[in-house]
């Protein structure tokens, strides 16, 4: 009996263990297969998503460079304006580390002001040779030595490439871009066409590790790198130093790069390692419990029944009716009862059993055949069910990915700072983002479902835009870039740079158009302003030298516009005005001259400021009579101004010339007119300077910047002191002139300083000191004042050397200046001023005595004091040197 119990118990435990264990391993195998397949699908999808993201990112930077390259400022080649523009753009586009401009010779200018040559750069030669935008492979920056990607766009003048504009993107920006998708499992990297890693999670591999040269026993990894370089898509499983990994790869559009994403194969196994453990523990525990219960409730009763069966087999006809089995299992008790009944009827059944044994075997054989067929059908159904379940799960996974992709796309379109919308084939708006609503002032219900052209396109562009839509739908060929405005709710037009793409339904038919646009209104206005600045003079708003030369080239040899007349005008005395009254007054004089000349011609006539003080007028199809009349109008305009404005005369020197009717050579015409102008200027220069100086003298008298009668009193004082020391008549004449005009330079000092009631600040005092230098330049320009020009420069020098502007001292100061200093100080102290009352005669003389040897000549001061106190002419007093 004991031998019977142990095998039955062990058999049951083993059956339970192997049965449950087999089911567990089957579940693990199926789960592992599903997870592996999902991992491949997810990795491939992630790779393509990252590849598209990098491609769009690079394309966006390329588009920005092309927009910047097309502004007229870049074609002008003005490096100061370009440098200013680059600094503005680098602030606006934080994604660029540096911006630079390069001419056709490869000389570049960075936004930092750094200059150099990029003639040896591969991207420069490609842009210059092909005229296309280029995204370079990673290279070392000449500016900071870091790894960068250069996005370069050509600057074209017509079809000719005259330079390029480029932006430097730090390679770390690209690394961060693809790292945003990295998790704890997947890792992304990018290789260029020679197999070199340009981004990698391990920074030590960047620009140093080449997958094609990596030494390993298997060639699978090298083959994968070769496929990536050749621009193929796919997924492989390779063995790395840190284990088996799936490697999915896809090319990046627009560049010769390929992106790869690796995921450890152990990622799936790590999720399944705990299942066998759980199944084994549960199986063992359940087996032990079942074994205990079955041993108590089944094994023991069945053992007794086995003993009864043995006894029955030995003595089938001697059965005892006292065989009892005690078991809590009702079925076992019923089995024992039936066993006793069976024993009674067993003998009868033995005979029947022998007869039915043959038919029973046949029936069993038939049933076994049917059972095998059923089992085979069941296995087929199970396989079909498993396949359906797998396909259903795969569809669910794709549906989830599709919904997530749609959500990300919608979120991106809603939040991107670009005008984004979708219209159907009839031009009805089916989607627009919040940016265009905020830009135009419309509400969403005023836009969605309405005709795009009626809502947003201005009336004058509407017909052309609708024709464009019809042409696109018919040809299924779309214009990628175009610029046309949209209308806001307030009726204003905003210029937009559009990028369109066609949308297709499941059958491949066009279902609508998706459009993304950038608001370039401010940029276009700035561009128009730059264009105006590039061809107009900032002071007079006339055409500048650049446009003059462009017009000359256009008319050169063009007989259809002959004869061509040229008038050249020069402002006389401009340098004197700039040197004495300042460049602001000179600029005002230039503006005034441009205004007078402009009034003498029609609005459409071409008037230019071609130099500092030179103006020119081009008169196509004009003979000598027309040109002479034009010169006459200019002279009359100047005469009219001088009659109406006597305080400051305007003088123009003019020359003119007219070309022949064939083989027009405008350079010779311009030279002839310029020579005529200079001949007239030589005749007028001296009289012009004298007229300007006379005007300044009158302005000095009119301003009366100190007190009435100051100049007359000062002349009397210096003559009295000069006579007292017996100076010659010529010297006395110079003294009289010096007393009258020593402060003529104050006409160039602003009134806010000249008439200030309080004490001057340090800066104001320095400005006031300039009047002696200004007066010196004025006197040198006027023949009448030339003898006293040096005296005017030195009349504020002090005896102790602390005066200005030269710091002369003692005998180095001219005698005339020392005499004037004493007389000027005495008259200033005894005269009333707006901010103080004048001193008495005695107080003023005491001040002179106090400052003798400091500010004033110590020998002249006592003579002046005696002269003032006596009130008489002191001719008998001799100046002792």
Reported as a pLDDT band with limits 50, 70 and 90, residue 625 is confident
Residue 510, Cβ density class (10 Å: 0-12 exposed, 13-18 middle, ≥19 buried): middle
pLDDT above 80 (res 748): no
What is the DSSP code (8-state) at residue 685? H
pLDDT of residue 217: 46
Within 8 A by CB and 6+ apart from 508, the residues are none
pLDDT of residue 135: 92
User: Would you call the peptide bond into 563 cis, given omega within 30 degrees of 0 as the criterion?
Assistant: yes
Cα–Cα distance for residue pair 769/805, rounded to 1 Å: 7
Cα–Cα distance for residue pair 435/412, rounded to 1 Å: 12
How confident is the prediction for the chain on average, in pLDDT? 77
Q: Would you say 197 and 189 are in contact if contact means Cβ atoms under 8 Å apart?
A: yes
Q: Which residue has the higher pLDDT, 186 or 795?
A: 795
Within 8 A by CB and 6+ apart from 442, the residues are 455, 489
Cα–Cα distance for residue pair 738/684, rounded to 1 Å: 27
Number of helices (H) and strands (E), helices first, in the chain?
28, 21
Cα–Cα distance for residue pair 775/796, rounded to 1 Å: 12
pLDDT of residue 527: 66
Across 112-126, 231-245, 301-315, 504-518, which has the greatest mean pLDDT?
A: 112-126
Cα–Cα distance for residue pair 729/750, rounded to 1 Å: 36
The percentage of residues in the chain with a pLDDT greater than 90, rounded to a whole number, is: 6
Give, in order, the Cα–Cα distances in Å from 139 to each of 123, 147, 570.
10, 5, 54
Cα–Cα distance for residue pair 522/835, rounded to 1 Å: 53
pLDDT above 90 (res 858): yes
pLDDT of residue 874: 37
3-state SS of 580-645 is HHCHHHHHHHHHHHHHHHHHCCCCCCEEEECCCCEEEEEECCCCHHHHHHHHHHHHHHHHHHHHHC
DSSP for 365-425, please give it.
Answer: HHHHHHHHHHHHHHHHHHHHHHHHHHHHHHHHHHHHHHHHHHHHHHHHHHHSSSEEEEEET
Indicate left, alpha or beta for 663 from its phi (over 0: left) and psi (-120 to 50: alpha). Answer: left
Could you give phi then psi for residue 719, rounded to 5 degrees?
-65, -40
**Per-residue pLDDT tens for 174-192?**
888 887 554 456 788 899 8
- The first and second tokens of residue 830, run together, are 């005894």
- The first and second tokens of residue 282, run together, are 């549960």
Cα–Cα distance for residue pair 523/867, rounded to 1 Å: 76
**Per-residue pLDDT tens for 581-592?**
667 777 887 888
Reported as a pLDDT band with limits 50, 70 and 90, residue 312 is low
- The first and second tokens of residue 865, run together, are 């004091």
Q: Which has the closest alpha carbon to 338: 352, 347, 357, 325?
A: 325
**Per-residue pLDDT tens for 255-289?**
889 988 888 877 656 655 566 666 667 767 776 77
pLDDT of residue 699: 59
Least confident of 374-383, 395-404, 543-552, 588-597: 395-404
Reported as a pLDDT band with limits 50, 70 and 90, residue 565 is confident
3-state SS of the chain: helix, strand, coil percent to 5? 55, 15, 25
Cα–Cα distance for residue pair 687/682, rounded to 1 Å: 10
pLDDT of residue 152: 93
CB atoms within 10 A of CB 789: 17
Residue 166, Cβ density class (10 Å: 0-12 exposed, 13-18 middle, ≥19 buried): buried
SS3 for 716?
helix
Q: Which residue has the higher pLDDT, 481 or 610?
A: 610
Q: Which has the closest alpha carbon to 778: 855, 697, 705?
A: 697
pLDDT of residue 707: 47
Cα–Cα distance for residue pair 833/836, rounded to 1 Å: 5
Q: Which has the closest alpha carbon to 20: 282, 274, 386, 275?
A: 282
Residue 373, Cβ density class (10 Å: 0-12 exposed, 13-18 middle, ≥19 buried): exposed
Average pLDDT over residues 373-391: 79
Cα–Cα distance for residue pair 296/626, rounded to 1 Å: 136
Average pLDDT over residues 515-529: 70
**Per-residue pLDDT tens for 445-455?**
788 888 877 77
Cα–Cα distance for residue pair 260/189, rounded to 1 Å: 5
CB atoms within 10 A of CB 835: 9
Give, in order, the Cα–Cα distances in Å from 116 to each of 113, 252, 857.
10, 32, 62
Backbone CA torsion sign across 323, 327, 331, 333: positive
pLDDT above 60 (res 480): no
Across 97-106, 303-312, 666-675, which has the greatest mean pLDDT?
A: 97-106
The percentage of residues in the chain with a pLDDT greater than 70, rounded to a whole number, is: 73
Average pLDDT over residues 552-576: 79
Least confident of 349-363, 479-493, 540-554: 349-363
Q: Would you say 387 and 472 are in contact if contact means Cβ atoms under 8 Å apart?
A: no
Torsion of CA 9, 11, 15, 17, to 10 degrees: 60
pLDDT of residue 379: 79
**Per-residue pLDDT tens for 127-146?**
988 889 999 889 887 767 78
Q: Would you say 856 and 802 are in contact if contact means Cβ atoms under 8 Å apart?
A: no
- The first and second tokens of residue 9, run together, are 């118990």
Q: Which residue stretches of 70-196 are H helix? A: 72-76, 79-92, 122-130, 171-179
pLDDT of residue 733: 81
- The first and second tokens of residue 864, run together, are 């002046």
Q: Which residue has the tokens 């490697």?
A: 247
Least confident of 75-84, 89-98, 328-337: 328-337
């Amino acid at each position: 009996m004991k031998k019977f119990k142990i095998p039955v118990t062990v058999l049951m435990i083993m059956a339970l263990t192997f049965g449950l264990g087999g089911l567990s391993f089957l579940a693990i195998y199926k789960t592992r297969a599903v997870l592996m397949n999902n991992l491949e699908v997810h990795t491939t999808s992630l790779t393509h998503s990252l590849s598209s993201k990098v491609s769009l990112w690079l394309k966006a930077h390329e588009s920005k460079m092309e927009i910047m390259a097309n502004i007229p400022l870049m074609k002008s080649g003005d490096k100061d304006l370009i440098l200013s523009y680059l600094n503005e753009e680098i602030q606006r586009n934080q994604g660029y580390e540096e911006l630079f401009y390069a001419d056709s010779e490869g000389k570049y200018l960075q936004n930092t002001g750094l200059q150099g040559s990029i003639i040896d750069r591969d991207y420069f030669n490609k842009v210059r040779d092909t005229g296309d935008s280029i995204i370079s492979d990673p290279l070392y920056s000449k500016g900071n030595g870091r790894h960068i990607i250069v996005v370069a766009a050509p600057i074209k003048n017509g079809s000719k490439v005259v330079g390029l504009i480029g932006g430097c993107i730090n390679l770390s920006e690209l690394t961060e871009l693809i790292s945003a998708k990295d998790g704890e499992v997947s890792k992304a990297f990018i290789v260029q066409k020679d197999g070199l890693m340009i981004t990698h999670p391990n920074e030590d591999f960047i620009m140093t590790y080449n997958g094609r040269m990596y030494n390993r026993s298997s060639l699978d990894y090298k083959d994968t790198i070769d496929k990536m370089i050749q621009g193929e898509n796919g997924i492989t499983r390779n063995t790395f130093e840190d284990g088996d990994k799936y490697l999915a790869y896809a090319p990046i559009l627009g560049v010769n790069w390929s992106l790869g994403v690796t995921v450890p194969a152990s990622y799936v196994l790590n999720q399944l390692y705990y299942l066998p453990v759980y199944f084994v523990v549960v199986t063992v525990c359940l087996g032990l419990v079942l074994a205990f219960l079955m041993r108590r409730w089944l094994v023991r009763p069945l053992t007794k029944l086995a003993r009864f069966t043995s006894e029955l087999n030995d003595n089938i006809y001697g059965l005892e009716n006292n065989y009892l089995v005690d078991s809590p299992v009702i079925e076992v008790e019923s089995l024992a009862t039936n066993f006793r009944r069976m024993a009674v009827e067993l003998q009868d059944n033995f005979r029947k059993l022998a007869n039915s044994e043959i038919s029973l075997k046949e029936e069993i054989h038939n049933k076994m055949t049917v059972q095998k067929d059923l089992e085979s059908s069941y296995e087929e159904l199970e396989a079909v069910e498993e396949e359906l379940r797998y396909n259903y799960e795969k569809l669910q996974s794709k549906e989830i990915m599709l919904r997530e992709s749609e959500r990300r796309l919608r979120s991106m379109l809603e939040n991107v700072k670009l005008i984004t919308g979708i219209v159907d084939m009839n031009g009805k708006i089916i989607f627009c983002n919040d940016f265009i609503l905020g830009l135009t002032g419309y509400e969403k219900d005023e836009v969605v479902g309405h005709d795009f052209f009626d809502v947003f396109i201005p009336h004058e562009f509407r017909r052309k835009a609708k024709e464009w839509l019809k042409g696109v739908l018919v040809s299924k060929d779309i214009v990628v870039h175009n610029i046309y405005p949209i209308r806001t709710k307030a009726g204003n037009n905003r210029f937009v740079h559009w990028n369109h793409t066609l949308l297709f339904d499941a059958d491949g038919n066009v279902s609508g158009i998706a459009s993304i646009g950038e608001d370039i209104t401010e940029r276009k206005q700035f561009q128009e302003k730059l264009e105006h600045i590039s061809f107009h003079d900032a002071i007079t708003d006339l055409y500048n030298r650049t446009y003059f030369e462009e017009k000359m080239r256009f008319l050169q040899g063009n007989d259809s516009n002959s004869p061509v007349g040229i008038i050249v005008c020069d402002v006389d005395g401009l340098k004197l005005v700039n040197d004495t009254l300042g460049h602001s007054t000179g600029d005002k004089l230039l503006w005034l001259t441009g205004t007078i000349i402009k009034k003498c011609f029609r609005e459409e006539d071409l008037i230019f400021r071609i130099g500092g003080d030179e103006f020119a007028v081009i008169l196509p199809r004009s003979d000598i009579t027309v040109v002479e009349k034009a010169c006459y109008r200019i002279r009359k305009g100047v005469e009219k101004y001088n009659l109406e404005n006597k305080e400051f005369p305007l003088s123009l020197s003019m020359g003119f010339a007219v070309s022949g009717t064939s083989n027009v050579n405008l350079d010779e015409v311009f030279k002839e007119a310029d020579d005529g102008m200079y001949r007239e200027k030589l005749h007028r220069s001296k009289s012009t300077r004298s007229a300007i100086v006379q005007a300044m003298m009158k302005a000095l008298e009119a301003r009366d910047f100190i007190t009435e009668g100051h100049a007359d009193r000062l002349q009397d004082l210096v003559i009295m002191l000069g006579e007292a020391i017996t100076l010659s008549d010529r010297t006395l004449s110079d003294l009289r002139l010096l007393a009258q005009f020593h402060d003529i330079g104050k006409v160039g000092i602003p009134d806010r300083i000249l008439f200030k009631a309080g004490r001057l600040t340090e800066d104001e005092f320095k400005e006031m000191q300039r009047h002696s230098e200004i007066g010196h330049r004025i006197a040198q320009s006027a023949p009448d004042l030339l003898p006293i020009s040096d005296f005017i420069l030195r009349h504020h020098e002090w005896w102790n050397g602390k005066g200005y502007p030269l710091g002369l001292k003692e005998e180095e100061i001219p005698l005339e200046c020392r005499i004037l200093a004493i007389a000027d100080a005495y008259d200033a102290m005894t005269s009333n001023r707006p901010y103080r009352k004048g001193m008495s005669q005695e107080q003023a003389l005491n001040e002179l005595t106090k400052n003798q040897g400091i500010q004033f000549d110590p020998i002249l001061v006592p003579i002046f004091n005696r002269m003032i106190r006596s009130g008489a002419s002191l001719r008998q007093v001799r100046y002792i040197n």
